[in-house]
């Protein structure tokens, strides 16, 4: 410690009076009271395994759920582990000009990886659907005790990088708490990336209530299959086909439909089909307007469907009457046939496509009934 005599104290006071903003005039007590700013959050944990684990990682076997490949253009790196193989990390890269997987015009490669990375979840586990237009995305998943973090982002050069982290907590309470702290730091780093900003960005326009509810059903119906949510609904790869699940149509249906299945009569459905045929004079009908049988939901309201071909487009529509009888939700599932096939409804590819779209219609009707009725 430096001691000041009386003359030196007066000299220092004069200097401080002349230069009041100088840091040299801050006394020891005042400096001690000045709070330090917290260190800025870092996102290095997402790329630096050593920093995240506080341990040098090693190469380990790939988890069985991640065997195989997410697509033709993805290049997988080695799997790294720490914490007695309870923490793992694996990354994939895909260049925008790389060859795409099958159905290149269906879902994007990031959407295909996003779905593939979640394929090992239990059948009824909550899944996330990739949103068209995202340049980055992240989501946290859980299956039992295992925690998973998926992060996908597009680099400036057009290359995509996808990373999956897995953590299986240590059974020891003290070790588990320490690992939990590190895992939470990793999640905080993920929330600080552009991926989080891209997902948190508000939609340009507010979606209609029917659309909001139906999109939750779409995500449930997609399951582990490759899917991508776009501006007008969801695109889905199913059995080698590309299906379009369109958002509910706006406006009110011109067909008055009963809510209770017991109130639906054959002659009424025939009259409804006649009206529908007049609205679509160029349609070739594969399944006339009919009442859907949903044995798994006996207390649910009536659901109606019809399937037809217009040109080379095969379409199936679902009608969901409201309990009040004043509103009907209408949603379509469609697929594009090969050129010229629309004129051959008995051809095997057309029969396959018809079965596919009608299967999705029935799945949507059941999911809606369970979720909302």
DSSP one-letter string for 127-138: ---EETT-SEEE
Nearest 5 degrees, angle CA 116-CA 118-CA 122? 130
- 26 alpha carbon, distance to own chain's centre: 54
Question: How many beta carbons lie within 10 A of that of residue 50, not counting itself?
Answer: 12
- Separation between Cα atoms, residue 261 and residue 189, nearest integer Å: 52
Global confidence as pTM: 0.80
Residues 143-168: b if buried by 16+ CB within 10 A, e if exposed: eeebbbbbbbbbeeeeebbbbbbbbb
What tokens were used for 247?
């958002």
- Separation between Cα atoms, residue 21 and residue 26, nearest integer Å: 9
What tokens were used for 220?
């449930």
Residues 6+ apart with CB under 8 A from 185: 45, 52
Strand order of the sheet with strand 241-246? Answer: 130-131, 227-230, 233-238, 241-246, 328-336, 313-321, 304-310, 284-291
- Separation between Cα atoms, residue 110 and residue 228, nearest integer Å: 9
Structural element, H or E, at residue 230? strand 227-230
- C-beta separation of 79 from 60 below 8 A: yes
**pLDDT computed for residue 297 by the predictor:** 62
Q: Which residue has the tokens 């199913």?
A: 238
In this structure, are strands 130-131 and 227-230 parallel, antiparallel, or unpaired? parallel
List per-residue pLDDT tens for the chain, 373 residues long: 444 444 444 443 443 344 333 333 333 343 344 444 444 445 689 989 999 999 999 999 887 665 556 766 788 889 999 999 999 999 999 876 554 544 457 999 999 999 988 887 887 788 889 999 898 889 998 888 999 999 998 888 888 999 999 999 999 999 999 999 999 999 999 988 766 666 666 554 567 899 999 999 999 999 989 999 999 999 999 989 999 999 999 877 777 899 999 899 999 899 999 999 999 999 999 999 999 988 766 678 999 999 999 999 999 999 999 988 778 999 999 999 999 999 999 999 999 999 999 999 999 999 999 999 8
Query: What are the phi and psi torsion angles at 177 (to 5°)?
Result: -65, -40
Q: Is 23 exposed, middle or buried (0-12, 13-18, 19+ CB in 10 A)?
A: exposed
- 296 alpha carbon, distance to own chain's centre: 27
What tokens were used for 86?
């309870």
């Amino acid at each position: 410690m430096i001691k000041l005599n009386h003359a030196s104290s007066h000299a220092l006071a004069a200097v401080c009076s002349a230069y009041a903003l100088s840091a040299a005039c801050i006394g020891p007590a005042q400096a001690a009271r000045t709070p330090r700013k917290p260190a800025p959050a870092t996102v290095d944990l997402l790329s630096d395994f050593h920093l995240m684990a506080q341990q040098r990682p090693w190469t380990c076997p790939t988890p069985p759920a991640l065997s195989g490949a997410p697509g033709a253009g993805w290049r997988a790196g080695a799997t790294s582990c720490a914490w007695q193989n309870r923490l793992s990390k694996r990354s994939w890269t895909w260049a925008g000009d790389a060859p795409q997987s099958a159905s290149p015009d269906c879902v994007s490669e990031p959407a295909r990886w996003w779905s593939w990375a979640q394929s090992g979840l239990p059948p009824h586990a909550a899944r996330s659907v990739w949103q068209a237009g995202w340049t980055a995305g992240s989501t946290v998943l859980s299956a039992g005790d295992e925690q998973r973090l998926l992060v996908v982002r597009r680099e400036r050069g057009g290359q995509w990088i996808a990373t999956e982290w897995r953590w299986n907590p240590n059974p020891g309470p003290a070790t588990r708490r320490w690992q939990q702290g590190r895992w939470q730091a990793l999640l905080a780093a993920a929330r600080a990336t552009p991926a989080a900003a891209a997902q948190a960005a508000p939609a340009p326009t507010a979606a209609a209530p029917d659309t909001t509810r139906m999109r939750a059903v779409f995500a449930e119906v997609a399951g582990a299959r490759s899917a991508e949510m776009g501006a007008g609904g969801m695109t889905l790869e199913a059995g080698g086909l590309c299906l379009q699940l369109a958002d509910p149509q706006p406006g009110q249906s011109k067909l008055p439909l009963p809510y209770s299945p017991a109130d639906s009569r054959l002659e009424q459905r025939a009259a409804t089909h006649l009206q529908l045929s007049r609205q679509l004079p160029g349609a070739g009908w594969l399944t006339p307007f009919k009442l859907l049988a949903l044995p798994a939901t006996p207390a649910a309201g009536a659901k109606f469907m019809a399937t037809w071909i217009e040109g080379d487009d095969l379409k199936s529509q679902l009608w969901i009457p409201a309990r009040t009888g004043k509103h009907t939700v209408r949603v379509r599932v469609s697929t594009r046939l090969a050129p010229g096939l629309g004129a051959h409804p008995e051809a095997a590819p057309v029969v396959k496509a018809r079965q596919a779209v009608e299967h999705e219609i029935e799945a949507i009707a059941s999911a809606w009934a369970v979720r909302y009725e």
